[in-house]
Amino acid sequence: MSIWTMGINQSTHGSDGVVGINNLALITGNIGKPGGTSLSITGQCNAMGTREWSSCSGLPNHRLLENEQDRIDIAKFWNIDVEFLPKKRGMFQTDIYHAIEAGHIKGMWLIATNPLSSLPNSERVRRAMQKLEFCVVQDCYADSESNQYAHVYLPAGTWAEKEGVMTNTERRVNLINAITPPPGEAKADLWIFNQVAKRFNFSNKRSDNKVNFPEKSADIFLEMGELSQGRLSDISGMNHELLEKNRGIQWPYTEKQAAAGIAPTAGGVRLYTEPASFRYADGKAKLIPLPFIDNNEVPDEKFPIWLNTGRLIEHWHGRTKTGKIGNNNKYSPIPFIEINPDLALELGIRRGDYVRLVSRRSDAVVMATPTHRVPKNMVFLPFHFHDCANRLTLGLLDPHSRQPAYKQSAIRIELLQDQKAAALLSMEMSKF
């Protein structure tokens, strides 16, 4: 079994890396059998669900805007003019900010994302956001860094304040129930989306009122089930009640199975166990030949140290939640690097010293923590802190996924003489 995390994906050739792992699994026969598969462990609890239901500028359930029949099917289901749908997908998120820079995009609606914290080369992202003529930020926290540039802020409910489903990495659909209503003026995302959709519908002078906007997530899930019938990720046999009863159901679970009284399999359903069951006309999987590409930024005489970024167990992404929880934040309240003791000795750095990291993009001030967990030519920097790791990271993107190369940057390390001023600067930079 091959399991990988973001170290493979976050590269200028991350897609090639994943394809290579899949090729290896196919060549060695490690697909469709117990203990044999290639499995991506991604960073979000609904990463699989977003891929299934078009958060990446596509159409629901792995349909493509570029496919005419897919556009026709969805337009018919939604009762809209097929010409309303674009004939190709829009920009990837990482490309949008370059388009803002160039003046091609004037307005943006940010939903549950914080580009000023999460995207590489954050100073370039900041300059792009400053050029927006209109920016809407929809978030459950008003102190999101990106909200500095919002012309309109829409307060949204967090996960425990709304109802919906998530799909995890092993294809299991789980139900999330609200345990409390959103506070104050905050609303669930679904309510906000429906209100905006209805206004678009009205502005298009549709007096026939044929476009339906279900008010409840359970009803939308039934629509999703209809759209999934006969497809790889078929959830047509599921509903919220059944998900609750079974504590999650792995797809595929079809309407025919449910009608025949076949209960969801407790242990799940293994795919690709039968010959010729892959999603091609001949049923065979395809090996994809790959070029060798080595175009990452590498250390040199001026920037001699590898910079690796990643997660800490106590924090989640930009710390908008975990940075406010004392029992989480106390373990790592400020930005720091893990540095090899031999490298620290050579540079005259002691535990607790503040140092400046300098890349070709910008700099950041962090505290040094010597540890043997990193090699001598590399430091590890958690990405959770505002105005820190992504001031340094490289903006190069994978040509297919458009994922940034967060994992391959080169820096130098400078010991700061005025440690008190460095401490104050570190505090200021991480104030969010």
What does the pLDDT read at residue 430? 63
What does the pLDDT read at residue 144? 86
* Topology adopted by domain 305-429: Barwin-like endoglucanases (2.40.40)
CA dihedral 363, 366, 368, 369 (to 10 degrees): -130
User: For residues 252 and 233, is the Cβ–Cβ distance under 8 A?
Assistant: yes
Tokens standing for residue 118 = 């999460």
What does the pLDDT read at residue 21? 94
Query: Apex CA 387: angle with CA 381 and CA 391, to 5°?
Result: 70
Residues of the chain with CATH 2.40.40.20: 305-429
State the 10-residue block means of pLDDT for the chain, 432 residues long.
Answer: 86 90 94 88 80 81 93 92 91 91 95 87 90 96 90 94 91 94 95 89 59 90 95 95 96 96 88 89 93 85 93 79 81 90 96 94 93 96 84 86 86 93 80 60
CATH code for the domain defined by 44-259: 3.40.50.740
Q: Phi/psi at 165 (nearest 5 deg)?
A: -120, 155
Between CA 134 and CA 30 the distance in angstroms is 50
User: For residues 338 and 379, is the Cβ–Cβ distance under 8 A?
Assistant: yes
What does the pLDDT read at residue 431? 65
User: For residues 134 and 106, is the Cβ–Cβ distance under 8 A?
Assistant: yes
CA 21 to chain centre: 21
295 contacts: CB under 8 Å, gap ≥ 6: 12, 13, 396
What does the pLDDT read at residue 292? 87
Cα distances (angstroms) measured from residue 269 to each of 70, 154, 272, 309: 27, 40, 10, 36
Residues of the chain with CATH 3.40.50.740: 44-259
DSSP state of 328: H
